[in-house]
Amino acid sequence: MTKFLELTYYNNRGFTFPNYLKPTIEKTLVGIQTHYIDLSNSQYGEQVFNIFHKKTDLELIENLVDLHGVFFEKFLSSKFRHRIHPYFNNEENSLKLLDSCKNYYSISENKNRLIDRIKHDFMKTSLIRLKNDTIYKKLQNFVQEKSNTRKCAICNKEYIPIKLPDWVYYGSNGNDNICYECPTVKSQTKKELKRLINELINVLNFIPNADFNPINHNFSSRVNKSKWIKVCKIIFEMGLKGNDTLSSESIFKKKFGSWFKALVDSNVLPNGLMESGRGFRCVAKSGNECNSLDEMFVDNWLFENQIISIKEPLYPKHPIYNKSGRRRADWKVGDYFIEYFGLKGEEAYDKKTKEKLLLANTLNLKLISIFPSDLNKISEKLDILKEITIANNGNRCTSL
Ligand SMILES: [Zn+2]
């Protein structure tokens, strides 16, 4: 029998409460616990906190604790990411902070590793400084509730949710109603796979990317919670496993050549879809050509909400960040530039993403950046555009 994930190690491991989140510091604390407290009290810790802290952070932390209990940190870290990375686009500003970090740890590392450290340190400093009795009580209650043995909603196996590793909890977007050690089909036939692909897309109501997997947050965050068990059942029946997330050797590549070819063979793609070097080229409902299914998803949202957009508008020229003047955004609505930063942008802030953010920053352009994890709540990012379209009604042609 093949399991979706092998979690024996985690199941045998006891759960340890993150003690640095206790409201009062105990003298018995050692090691990593006091490290965070020392960090928070240091000059460097203070500097990091003052640069990145926002008044609404306590509220943000409380909300995440309500939703995810002791697993809230990974969600918080992903929220902070978009605040921290753009700061380092400005060399002058960030040099001081990078130096402080180097001095604090007496290390010399490259810029990206230092930024990772600072990101982590900002989160821990915030948690030390903002923790309180209410948060602590909520965490304790969560631990108690999730320490009870449950039966998996798919395979019926007994499991204890608190013992799920944080990467499984976060990866599945907090869907802890299954054990993730459920049996998966070892080898599925091509015919069955085609049927399952159709079933999956029917339930999801969107076409997932090649790296879809129940523990890939970019995917799980787009899935409606009420459909989670159904979706996972289908995926386990396909024979997907947890460690397929990053592996290009997944079942679809083996059986069909690629995920794209599997989609073609299953007849689930909209008309006018072609394979290109970068993945897909497809025609959205607006008639716009898009470079990926996600891009098409955003374009369709704009179209369905009657928002008039320009596809691939040019950015203004800039002597450093747009020398040739040929750099383009994905869309423009009114004076808002809109970018969909796909997988790469989310994880690593690749060079192109950085330079576009920098260009927008330097020229004070209004830029809406959309990342994969925004796709399930796209309205939050784009609702502002509805007002522009209303305001511009009547003089559409001149405003474009
Ligand atoms: Zn199970």
Residue ranges and CATH numbers for the domains of the chain are 19-142 (no CATH), 150-269 (no CATH), 279-399 (3.40.960.10)
pLDDT at 398 over 60: no
Whole-number Å distance, alpha carbon 142 to ligand 1 midpoint, is 21
Whole-number Å distance, alpha carbon 254 to ligand 1 midpoint, is 26
The tally of CA atoms less than 13 A away on the side-chain side of residue 172 is 25
**What is the DSSP-derived secondary structure letter of residue 53?**
-
Confidence of residue 26 (pLDDT cuts 50, 70, 90): low
In sequence order, which residues have a C-beta less than 8 Å from that of residue 6 and are 6 or more positions away?
A: 181
Whole-number Å distance, alpha carbon 14 to ligand 1 midpoint, is 20
Can you read off the two tokens belonging to residue 358? Answer: 């920098």
d(CA 176, CA 153): 10
Whole-number Å distance, alpha carbon 11 to ligand 1 midpoint, is 13
Angle value at C-alpha 88, between 86 and 94, nearest 5 degrees? 140
**What is the DSSP-derived secondary structure letter of residue 161?**
G
Q: Could you tell me the pTM of the whole model?
A: 0.83
pLDDT at 66 over 90: yes
d(CA 55, CA 216): 31
pLDDT at 187 over 70: yes
pLDDT at 210 over 50: yes
Whole-number Å distance, alpha carbon 152 to ligand 1 midpoint, is 5
Longest dimension (CA), the chain: 70
Whole-number Å distance, alpha carbon 154 to ligand 1 midpoint, is 5
pLDDT of residue 396: 43
- Mean per-residue pLDDT over the chain, rounded: 87
Whole-number Å distance, alpha carbon 56 to ligand 1 midpoint, is 38
Phi (first) and psi of residue 279, to 5 degrees: 130, -105
